[in-house]
């Protein structure tokens, strides 16, 4: 690995509620990796906040924050550096006229000026955290064409999960109830036919959610097939069955050492199987519609 801090950055992507958070968090405990933290959206373009990472993760001690999900976390977890998607940061960095957080960015590329600004920002972020390499996670649309125009040698970790399980989980997230249950949350991948479908199904929150999940999956697959990035597909179901071997595979694929800190996660945290049987997700009628939509 070179000294420019952005050689082969690692991008975790996948549909929301696919296991991207837990898998990326475990890998980002690695001693060499820097990432956007919960502090960055508060200061947007100021990278000096990243010096704080050194207080918790240094040659003398290493503390790692994590997203509060099913495992209990300490009060200190609120303050300790942890990785986030940092969409306000991305919206600040990209050019005017596009929304990184809500746009599919199909066929979009960063302008030379935009790329220079983003590359400079992330180099400073990595350096100030005292690390060697960048990693970050995004969910929803892959935005791959745009991201690869900035990071052409990126190592992509594409996390997938049963789409009906994704729909079930997504519908239980508070932010989705106010953003994606009655309309299309992400933009740039729908035409008049899609909006006519939305109008005809505006009272069916399950189908509206599933329609968006399906589009995210379809567009991501199409972009990976066409752009052919250096990518590793990781199935959430395999992670549930063999979490440590999955992390070993990701570390090997990305060229990272088998850092003990990544595996220490399993000493204090349990991996829960959230892939319940489909019969427990929805009513028989809803499940049949979902199976037809996803061709299951």
Q: Tokens 């972009």 — which residue?
A: 223
Confidence check: pLDDT of 233 > 90: yes
Give the model confidence (pLDDT) of 79-119 as tens digits. 888 999 999 999 999 999 999 999 999 999 999 999 999 99
Give the model confidence (pLDDT) of 27-53 as tens digits. 999 999 999 999 999 999 999 999 999
Structural domains of the chain, with CATH: 10-293 (3.40.50)
Pairing state of beta strands 155-160 and 133-137?
Answer: unpaired
First-residue to last-residue Cα distance in the chain: 43
What's the pLDDT at 84? Answer: 94
Interatomic CA distance for residues 151 and 138, integer angstroms: 14
Instruction: Judge if pTM exceeds 0.85.
Output: yes
Interatomic CA distance for residues 26 and 48, integer angstroms: 25
Mean pLDDT score, 288-293: 91
Contact 202, 114 (CB under 8 A): no
What's the pLDDT at 68? Answer: 66
Confidence check: pLDDT of 2 > 60: no
Percent of the chain with pLDDT over 90: 78
């Amino acid at each position: 690995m070179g000294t420019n801090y952005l050689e082969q950055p690692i991008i975790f992507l996948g549909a929301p509620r696919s296991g991207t958070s837990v898998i990326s968090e475990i890998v980002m405990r690695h001693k060499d990796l820097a990432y956007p933290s919960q502090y960055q959206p508060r200061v947007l373009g100021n990278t000096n906040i990243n010096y704080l990472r050194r207080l918790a993760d240094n040659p003398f001690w290493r503390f790692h924050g994590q997203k509060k999900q099913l495992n209990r976390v300490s009060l200190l977890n609120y303050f300790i550096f942890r990785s986030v998607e940092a969409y306000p940061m991305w919206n600040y960095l990209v050019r005017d006229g596009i929304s990184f957080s809500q746009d599919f960015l199909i066929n979009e590329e960063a302008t030379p000026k935009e790329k220079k600004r983003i590359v400079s920002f992330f180099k400073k972020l990595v350096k100030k955290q005292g690390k060697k390499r960048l990693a970050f996670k995004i969910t929803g649309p892959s935005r791959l064409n745009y991201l690869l125009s900035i990071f052409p040698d990126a190592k992509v970790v594409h996390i997938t999960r049963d789409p009906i399980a994704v729909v079930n989980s997504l519908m239980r997230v508070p932010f989705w109830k106010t953003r994606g249950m009655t309309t299309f949350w992400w933009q740039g991948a729908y035409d008049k036919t899609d909006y006519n479908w939305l109008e005809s199904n505006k009272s069916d929150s399950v189908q509206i959610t599933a329609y968006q999940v399906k589009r995210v999956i379809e567009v991501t697959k199409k972009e990976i097939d066409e752009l052919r990035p250096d990518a590793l597909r990781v199935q959430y179901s395999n992670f549930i069955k063999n979490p440590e071997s999955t992390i070993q595979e990701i570390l090997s694929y990305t060229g990272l050492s088998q850092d003990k800190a990544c595996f220490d996660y399993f000493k204090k945290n349990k991996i829960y199987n959230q892939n319940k049987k489909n019969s427990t997700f929805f009513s028989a009628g809803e499940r049949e519609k979902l199976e037809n939509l996803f061709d299951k």
